Amino acid sequence: MKILISNDDGISSPGIYALAQELKKIGDVTVVAPLTEQSAVGHAITMKSPLRVTKYEKNNEFFGYAVDGTPADCVKMGVRNILQMNPDIVVSGINHGSNAATAVIYSGTVSAAREAAIMDIPAIAVSITSHDASHFSYAAKTAAYFCKLIAEKGLKKGSLLNINVPDIPDDQIKGIRLTKQGRTKWDDKYEKRVDPYGQDYFWLTGELVRLDYDMSYDQFAVDNNFVAVAPIHFDLTDNDTYNEMGGWNIQDIKI
Amino acid sequence: MKILISNDDGISSPGIYALAQELKKIGDVTVVAPLTEQSAVGHAITMKSPLRVTKYEKNNEFFGYAVDGTPADCVKMGVRNILQMNPDIVVSGINHGSNAATAVIYSGTVSAAREAAIMDIPAIAVSITSHDASHFSYAAKTAAYFCKLIAEKGLKKGSLLNINVPDIPDDQIKGIRLTKQGRTKWDDKYEKRVDPYGQDYFWLTGELVRLDYDMSYDQFAVDNNFVAVAPIHFDLTDNDTYNEMGGWNIQDIKI
């Protein structure tokens, strides 16, 4: 199995190393990841400036290719220029921090996997729920398990799995839950500060607000020590609203 | 009607000016837009550095607030710190270039509107299909029309409208089409060049590939001189794959 690995925390992060070590047991791994941390970059791609690619060593061994761009850039570069072929699967992570529920929208980790889905390559994003991530082993084994399962069962073109793993010891994990994307929002604000030159600047701060309390949604499942596996896609069509708007009498009108 | 306007081409772009001039006829407009162009930034937000806000003048008049961040940052900043209340609607655009079909994933313009949807504020993203955008008037009038229609009919929480307008003279536009998000992909590659110091660098290049030829999808509708109005949301759950995976026997297993 040919596996392309990326992330958004950067090629030097512990999470991507743990993932690569595990996936090497089941396939031929190529790592192409951002040179620097790219958290919360969403699905940004680099078009107005060029990219550079450098070889990156870890423990005196070649580990992978570092790209001075975004996670989505890394997947494009990995497929188009480095592998020059579609891998069997793209795995992004292990992200340091949850990408459950609405966080999926902001996540560079998920965007790397989604870029693969846009290219019709099966993909998995895997995250652990703490920014001080310390328990990578269950997440890495889960990624390997789903790589094998997707190879066996197939995954619809355009789909990817968004997997979130509680950052707790392996023996406290209650098991896998197949879930939908939950809903969260942020009660956020910008904290104003004044720089030494008397000018205002603003830091984003805020609390995550949970909106679903149901085990069929990813956020609640990980909050309850389950691994949440949510199949997602990049068709954003809101079919309910589409049907509702059928009654708005806008078809073919001119403004 | 209190209207917050943003975009991704930056506060100095002609598109946002045309939009603001039209929407001032129907409401109380506040413009909060990126200081510099932010195309293809996706739903990036700025967390690891602070933001600054400056007042921006156009034609010797106050036009709006410029934020040195992303489109999504501008909507957060506009709602939380500038208006300090939810506007009735957020309108993002007029983007110079199409955001139909899969382009929606990369679009900063759509992300600004989606940030509003995450805050439960109705939102519209409006784009014209050419990067050399010259015909803004129909797009601006269409945005105003849908602001009024949403005020009358309501829009489900979490939904937004992604509107794409052909960049042609008004009298050649065939009318409005309610559509779903179409599918496109890019036949892209990185063009390698060598810098004056002998180092390689890579530019993203590539062609858009159309995958739908059906008037119920936004790309085909705009290609045929219709205004495409696609209701979208930020629930990425792939229900088909979720149902399919119900047969994978993964519920509650341990790895």
Angle among Cα B98, A160, A54 to the nearest 5 degrees reads 75
Q: Which of A204, A232, A242 sits opposite B47 (nearest CB)?
A: A204
The arithmetic mean of pLDDT across residues B16-24, rounded, is 98
pLDDT at B48: 87
B40 has pLDDT over 80: no
pLDDT at A132: 85
**Where in the sequence is the domain holding A172, given as residue range(s)?**
2-181+213-248
- Does residue A186 form part of some domain? no
Task: Indicate if the pLDDT at residue A241 is higher than 80.
Answer: yes
Q: Give the per-residue pLDDT at B132.
A: 85
| Confidence label for B133 from pLDDT (cuts 50, 70 and 90) | confident
Region B88-96 average pLDDT = 97
Q: Is B244 inside a domain boundary?
A: no
* A 9-28 residues inside an 8 A Cβ radius of B: none
- CB distance from A174 to chain B under 8 Å? yes
pLDDT averaged over every residue in chain B: 96
Res A133 pLDDT > 80: no
pLDDT digits (tens, 9 = 90+) for A174-185: 999 999 999 999
Please state, in angstroms and rounded to a whole number, the distance separating the CA atoms of residues B213 and A182.
33
| Residue A229 within any structural domain of the chain | yes
CATH number assigned to the domain comprising residue A12: 3.40.1210.10
Q: In three state form, how does the secondary structure of chain B look?
A: CEEEEECCCCCCCHHHHHHHHHHCCCCEEEEEEECCCCCCCCCCCCCCCCECEEEEEECCEEEEEEECCCHHHHHHHHHHHHHCCCCCEEEEEEEECCCCHHHHHCCHHHHHHHHHHHCCCCEEEEEECCCCCCCCHHHHHHHHHHHHHHHHHCCCCCEEEEEEECCCCHHHCCCEEECECCCEEEEEEEEEEECCCCCEEEEEEEEEEECCCCCCEHHHHHHCCCEEEEEEECCCECHHHHHHHHHHCCCCCCC
pLDDT band of B53, cuts 50, 70, 90: very high
pLDDT > 90 in chain B, percent = 93
User: Cβ atoms within 10 A of the Cβ of B55, count?
Assistant: 9
Q: What is the pLDDT of residues B217-242, one digit of tens each?
A: 999 999 999 999 999 999 999 999 99
Q: Provide the pLDDT for residue B134.
A: 83
The answer to whether residue B248 is domain-embedded is no
At B195 the pLDDT is 95
| d(CA A58, nearest CA chain B) in Å | 23
Q: Is B242 within the bounds of a domain?
A: no
**pLDDT surpassing 90 at residue B140:** yes
Residues 107-126 of B with CB under 8 A from A: 111, 114, 118-120
Note whether A131 contacts B: Cβ–Cβ < 8 A.
no
Q: How far apart are CA A76 and CA A70, in angstroms?
A: 10
Q: B162 lies in a domain?
A: yes
Which of B37, B199, B232 has the CB atom closest to A237's CB atom?
B232
- Would B6 be classed as within a structural domain? yes
Instruction: Give A7-43 pLDDT, tens digit per residue.
Output: 999 999 999 999 999 999 999 999 999 999 887 788 8
SS3 A164: strand
Q: Do B255 and A176 touch (CB under 8 A)?
A: yes
From A41, A106, A177, residue closest to B251, measured CB to CB: A177
| Confidence bin at B117 (pLDDT 50/70/90) | very high
Q: What is the pLDDT of residues A140-181, one digit of tens each?
A: 999 999 999 999 999 999 999 999 999 999 999 999 999 999
The mean pLDDT value for A213-236 works out to 97
Q: Is the pTM of this model over 0.90?
A: yes
B44 to chain A, any CB pair closer than 8 A? The answer is yes
Q: Average pLDDT, whole number, for chain A?
A: 96
Count of domains in chain B?
A: 1
Q: How many CB pairs under 8 A join A and B?
A: 251
CA A225 – CA A170 distance, rounded (Å): 10
Lowest-confidence range among B43-47, B69-73, B154-158?
B43-47
Nearest Cα of chain B lies from the Cα of A49 at a distance, in angstroms, of 7
Q: Is the pLDDT of residue A5 over 90?
A: yes
Is there a domain that residue A187 lies in?
no
Q: A250, B176: Cβ pair inside 8 Å?
A: yes
Confidence of residue B131 (pLDDT cuts 50, 70, 90): confident
Q: Is the pLDDT of residue B247 over 80?
A: yes
Closest to B97 (Cα-Cα) out of B108, B88, B86, B89: B108
